[in-house]
Amino acid sequence: MDFNLFMEDVVNAAREDVRDAGYEELTTPESVDEAMKRDGSTLVMVNSTCGCAGGVARPAAANAIHYDKRPDHLVTVFAGQDREATEKAREYFEGYPPSSPSFAFIKDGKIVTMLERSEIEGYSAMDVVGKLQKVFDDHCEEV
């Protein structure tokens, strides 16, 4: 089996998981800037191909949003794949080191909080759903 073809399949499946959950995929620095300038709240899922992304972060991203309160906008960047878009998104995560997978909560273009890899890896998807929904409770309006 060709490793590059295998990895392409892995990456495509990871992208599809998050898109199917309703997240807008940002693949360029310009699309990141546009998304971050939107009024309201935005959840940014920093995707990756690691096991904790596939086993915890992506399932949490898909399930946390089925809640009474949730962000106005759902977007994703893919660390290690869409490098320039990810670097641009990380410019908005002031005070937080690069981390993937992770979730950044942005309100009116400013970072409010972040769930870093250390708060994802080693936890269950339901643990992370709870952490995200706590952020939603604290910072989002009821839908």
- Biggest alpha carbon distance in the chain? 49
* Three-class secondary structure of residue 73 per DSSP: strand
Q: How far apart are CA 120 and CA 6, in angstroms?
A: 25
Q: How far apart are CA 52 and CA 94, in angstroms?
A: 24
Report angle CA 93, 127, 43 to the nearest 5 degrees: 30
Q: How far apart are CA 48 and CA 46, in angstroms?
A: 7
| Active-site residue list | 50, 52
Q: How far apart are CA 109 and CA 61, in angstroms?
A: 20
